[in-house]
Amino acid sequence: MKRGDLYWANLSPRSGSEQTGRRPVIILSHDAFNEAPGWRSIIVIPVSTSPNQGRRGPTVVALPAGTANLKSDSSALCHQITTLDRAKLVERIGELSTEILVQVEKALLAAVDIRR
């Protein structure tokens, strides 16, 4: 597993407005953490197919159908960055292009108000 990969993940249990259920996530954590066998936590960004989520502003990145083998138009919800135990990752879907990963990074900067 590496940064920029998409995986199916089980995001249950969750609460409130957090994304829940089985859904794609983007691996965001550094590859050094991802490859360390004793490191169980993985930083991810949930992905949604809801059109309402896609209109949330600069913290959402459009992922058209076909992106990293996604079957439907989707959105990366960078304002919902979270940490999961790697056991919740079920199956690799594909890999984001460098161009889309850069868009995700910019949306993350907007979500946490970091300016370069």
The residue with greater pLDDT, 95 or 50, is 95
What confidence score (pLDDT) does residue 72 get?
94
34: number of CA atoms within 13 Å, CB side? 14
Structural domains in the chain (count)? 1
For residues 42 and 86, the answer to whether their CB atoms sit within 8 Å is yes
Helix ranges (H only) for the chain are 31-35, 98-112
- At 20, is the pLDDT very low, low, confident or very high (cuts 50, 70, 90)? low
Amino acid at 82: T
Domain assignment of residue 53, given as a range: 5-112
Mean pLDDT of 84-100: 94
CA distances in angstroms from 104 to 14, 15, 46, 77, 112, listed in the order given: 23, 24, 12, 9, 13
| 36-45: b (≥16 Cβ within 10 Å) or e | eeeeeebbbb
| 114 confidence band (pLDDT: 50, 70, 90) | confident
The CATH number covering residue 13 comes to 2.30.30.110
